[in-house]
Amino acid sequence: MEAMTAKDVAIRSELKPGDLGYLIHLHGLLYAREYGYGLGFESYVAEGLCEFCSRYDPDADRLWICEAGGRMVGSLFAMHRPEAAQLRYFLVDPAYRGQGLGTRLMGSCMDFLRERGYARAYLWTTDELIEAARIYERFGFRLGEERESTTFGKRLVERRYQVELRSPTP
């Protein structure tokens, strides 16, 4: 079988049956393997995906599911909140990292946020996700808040990044 690259990835913006369960599964496996996160993280993802689906507004929310060879290899969600958009579930399969797929996802997301007129966006991540933070910073996100946490089964620092999407009016 020939190795697939990010060029072979198709991105869709609709959920299909099985996607939610697979996203929970994929996040749980990858974050446990790469960072030692426990079941608390998997539960956090499940709760958030449930909230996304129950509050979904096609005019204000969007998701990007990456597929290659018939399997999911990445994701990113933008969810409306009262004061801003929240980005969630940014994930790229290790086999597809370093090929620009994460940048492609963030670019699509930022275009969507601007098209929809969002003034601000934010996301939560952890101090261990250094490569993801570099992508966020390339798109203008800045670190705004930090807090220690053991929510995911280990001690870490949760970080909130935010970006202003419109210039303030004088």
What is the band of 1 on the pLDDT scale with cuts at 50, 70, 90?
Answer: very low
Q: What's the CA gap between 45 and 107, in Å, rounded? A: 23
Which residues, listed in sequence order, are joined to residue 92 by a DSSP beta bridge?
74
Q: What whole-number distance in Å separates Cα of residue 63 and Cα of residue 61?
A: 7
Query: What amino acid is encoded at 44 in this protein?
Result: Y
Name the CATH superfamily, with its identifier, for domain 11-164: Gcn5-related N-acetyltransferase (GNAT) (3.40.630.30)
pLDDT digits (tens, 9 = 90+) for 74-126: 999 999 999 999 999 999 999 999 999 999 999 999 999 999 999 999 999 99
pTM of the full structure: 0.91
pLDDT digits (tens, 9 = 90+) for 13-40: 999 999 999 999 999 999 999 999 999 9
Residues 6+ apart with CB under 8 A from 113: 78, 85, 121, 165
Tell me the CA distances in angstroms from 164 to 5, 6, 131, 140, one per residue in order.
33, 29, 21, 8
More confident residue, 152 or 166: 152
CB atoms within 10 A of CB 101: 21
Helix (H) or strand (E) holding 87: strand 85-92
> Residues with Cβ < 8 Å from 110, sequence gap 6 or more?
121, 139, 165
